[in-house]
Amino acid sequence: MATTSLLNLDPVPTLLKRVRAELSADFPPGRRIRVSRAPGRLDVMGGIADYTGSLVCEMPLDRAAAVALSTRDDHDLQVFSFNLHDDHKPFTFRIPLHALATQPLDDLRRELGEPGRAWAGYLAGCLFILHEYNLVNLSDPKHAGINLALLSTVPLGAGVSSSAAIEVATMMNLVDHFDLRERLDAMTLAAMCQQVENRVVGAPCGIMDQVTSCAGEAGTLLRMICQPHELQPALELPENVRVVGINSNVKHSVGGGAYGRTRCAAFMAHKMILEQMRRAGKLHGRELVDDPMRGYLANLDPDDYKRHFRERLPEFMSGEDFLRDYKSTIDTATQVRADEIYPVQHAADHHVLEARRVRHFVEYLEEASEFPARKQSELNRAGHLMYASHLSYTNDAMLGADECDVLVDLVRAHEHAGLYGAKITGGGSGGTVAILAATTARASGAIHDVMQAYERQTGNKPDLFNGTSPGAWQVGTVVV
């Protein structure tokens, strides 16, 4: 259901102003424009463990992507970007709708992979997926063409889901344009956006980013068990407590090699542990038919993992050896490469133990809200779990970054001022550090001091993410 408040949420007013001023030939006066908006997200706990089934805790930000849609007189899709194209490259992309319907996916990915076009895949891919889901027939010559114009304030490479915000804003707009809302729900829309990222763009992300951008509630933590997406009631933060993010301005990429290698290694570990379970069952005269983990490392008890399986996993393993002995994994977003070396035991350590860390993090925050006398100690316990998660990102997931270590160390030095904990977010390897903090002036001053000290030590100017806003499904779209 659309709400007029959408028109007051950044960056919607700026997008509409620029569309009318700079794209009047394609968005002519008098033609209706549908506008949508979807926020980025701050990964507070869970991060990359979403794809192994963990509970995750995410905060929708006030930084967002906005998309304007109007029809065309031809049968083409024309995409415009005001700020997400490559430097010195054209900021438009055009393709016939029937080509999106008939072109093989590999050909479409190659076309979108050409220089200056990568950004367009997040938008054009939404139409491809809608057609594939049989929700829209792009082969129908009766379909009018579509203009899509994009403006985003979610910084690229900061680890706060700039890509998910674009996908969700685009998909939300198209869903309402084609009058599909009653046939879908927020989780289905998010899952379709994940398909855009995994299959069209080619980034092996989990689903938490898209769900938060779509279904998040301002001022609360979205809680979801990623098996594949079991949404739980939003987690209210304790009174006078907030989460903020500091962008290290070290770019990260979910499509990068380190993220994919760690993800692949986690699924290799899952396959090897399952084979160990099957062998143990046969030794005791039991035939193991189903997977006791139900497809997710998060369902493996950490104590059982340490007692029975960890030492049987290789610290590192070549893809060639794994493929020879185990053939494949269950992951559809990555493939084991024969010439790659994978940190199998390290990845399993991170994912199995991270799932427990997140569960305890939620328990401590709930207890901090419920028992005021224990509030300080419970917040400290939650914060120390964030520090442990950060350390595991570096040592086990191998997705750390020196600059993010500097930020976390600086936060830890200000624990006395109401900064309870901090960790690298999302896909790691740079990006943003999430901080659990008090809302006091003293804590705000400490955050300012952390940012100044970070700039002095690294030469990078950090950005602060300290606002929140609702997800796209809640605010809907507006026609102007």
Q: Give the catalytic positions in this structure.
A: 209
**Separation of alpha carbons 425 and 434, rounded Å:** 6
Task: Render 421-480 in DSSP notation, one character per residue.
Answer: EEEE-TT-SSSEEEEEEE-SHHHHHHHHHHHHHHHHHHSPPPEEE--B---HHHH--EE-
12: left (phi over 0), alpha (psi -120 to 50) or beta: alpha
104: left (phi over 0), alpha (psi -120 to 50) or beta: beta
> Are 258 and 430 within 8 A, CB to CB?
no
Other CB atoms within 10 Å distance of the CB of residue 42: 29
- Look up residue 17 and give its DSSP letter: H
Q: Which two three-digit tokens encode residue 182? A: 């009653």
Task: Name beta bridge partners: 421.
Answer: 436
Q: For helices 105-112 and 121-132, what crossing angle results, to 10°?
A: 170
Terminal CA-to-CA distance of the chain, rounded, Å?
A: 15
Which among 463, 412, 414, 411 has a CA at the least distance from the CA of 160?
Answer: 463
Q: In degrees, to the nearest 5, what angle opens at C-alpha 80 toward C-alphas 121 and 133?
A: 40
**Separation of alpha carbons 235 and 237, rounded Å:** 6
